[in-house]
A and B are shown apart, each in its own frame.
Chain A
Amino acid sequence: MSVEVSDVYDLVCETLLENGGLQLGILTDDQFLDFLDSVTADFLRKTAIVKDIFTVAATVDVSEYAYPAGIMRAEAAFYDNAYIERSSRAMADLDTERWPRDSSEPETWSEDRQDAQTFSVSPPPPDSGKNITLIGIENVIPSSLDTLSTITEIPKSFTFYLFAGVMNKIRTTDGELKDDFQANYFWNRYMEGVNLAKAIMGELSAEN
């Protein structure tokens, strides 16, 4: 079971004493959805609980590639299904000054010295037709989020913590609903959920 936007919405309405839906106009449905979108993206990035496998076609002599749609951050990379280590361009420079020009089977990948939508492999591939496979955090937020959407892959059990994140945003926004006490409280509860998910992922990533 996945997070239903309507469940988060109902919790927010209950807490703002607007049972049955946001009607007073102090907070609108669109504002709620913007907050939820932002909180969910943050939760996915911080916890890395939802991952998928992505592929990019390698091109001869090209070291820089755009991240495929749907990936938020890569955690592991493979060239032609063989694992390549994460590194940095600075390290590649130290290893060999000619790496951007000398093509060979890629041995490392990196994200530094480029925009957030780009990664690079080093050295650049010697031929085209092979794949670069990335395992990374998947963006599972629907592109047209509405109150009837489902955020698939995030287990329903984390609904409360997304609600806490949304309430933090509501309570920190200038206006009638601003409330420092609750903003602080809900931030701590949101981070409790983030840390809980990270602890769970830590157990899965730990050696036996």
Chain B
Amino acid sequence: MAITRSELRSRVLNRLDGDDVFYSESSRDMMIDHSLRIVNLFSGRMQTSAVVPGGSVSEQYEYDVPAGILLPTAVHFDGEPLKRSPLISHSRAHPRWMNETNQSTRMDTACWIPIGITKFGLWPADFYGGATITVFGIAEPSFTGADDEEFSIGEGDSEAVEEHASHILTAAEAGKVFYDGTVRIFRRSYQKKMLEIQAWQGEIMPFLKIELKVGPE
């Protein structure tokens, strides 16, 4: 499903009593963009791939994740998928991996080693250089701001975007008004949606889990 920016703007406005003076179009756009990014962070739905500029360099083990990728999830070396190997366990298994190349190990490049979300290592390093390294992963969204800009997101994601954008716009009202008006609804509705769409393991919203166990306020 695709939804246009102008449609998202009006849906957000509908949740704000249609007050387009207090909640201007530029304010709504700003919050829509950040909300789209947050929903994508949780769901990982926007995927892309990019090639490392210049390809592999002879005997170099360390590379930057190419622009446009927020989180690398897979790496291909000359079209062949590599195995992901976490830094510490890989270093224990192959203590001299930083020095090892195809030539010294007599092995094809077999693993990629994540170093944070912005860098990765290859093992063994390419001895010859010039290979194509393709990184797949979750895309960092970019927006044009045009009225007819389309977002390919599901209905559930779209509701989460609308809810988050409208909710955070009301933070400008501050204090108890903000808390009573939206925070309670937000916790039950938006955060539940995010728990449903999240692609990651782990306790991202421990406060919500506690509240859900206790029951509605």
Question: What residues of chain A have their CB less than 8 Å away from a CB belonging to chain B?
Answer: 1, 10-11, 14-17, 19, 48-53, 75-76, 78, 81-83, 85, 133, 135, 137-138, 153, 155-160, 167, 179, 181-182, 185, 188, 191-192, 195-196, 198-208
Contact = CB atoms under 8 A, between A and B. Distances in A.
Given A181-B178, A205-B87, A51 B116 contact: yes
Contacts of B62: 53
A208 B168 CA distance: 37
A141 to B, nearest CB: 15
A52 B119 contact: yes
Interface of B: 27, 30, 34, 37-38, 40-42, 62, 67, 70-72, 83-84, 86-89, 91-92, 95-99, 114-119, 140-142, 168-169, 171-172, 174-176, 178-179, 183, 198, 200-207
Contacts of A82: 95-96, 99
B94 to A, nearest CB: 8
Of the candidates A50, A137, A138, A155, the one having the most CB atoms from chain B within 10 angstroms of its own CB is A155
A185 B176 CA distance: 11
A193 to B, nearest CB: 8
Given A51-B115, A83-B92, A160-B37, A10 B30 contact: yes
Contacts of B207: 188, 191
Of the candidates B41, B86, B99, the one having the most CB atoms from chain A within 10 angstroms of its own CB is B41
B87 A135 contact: yes
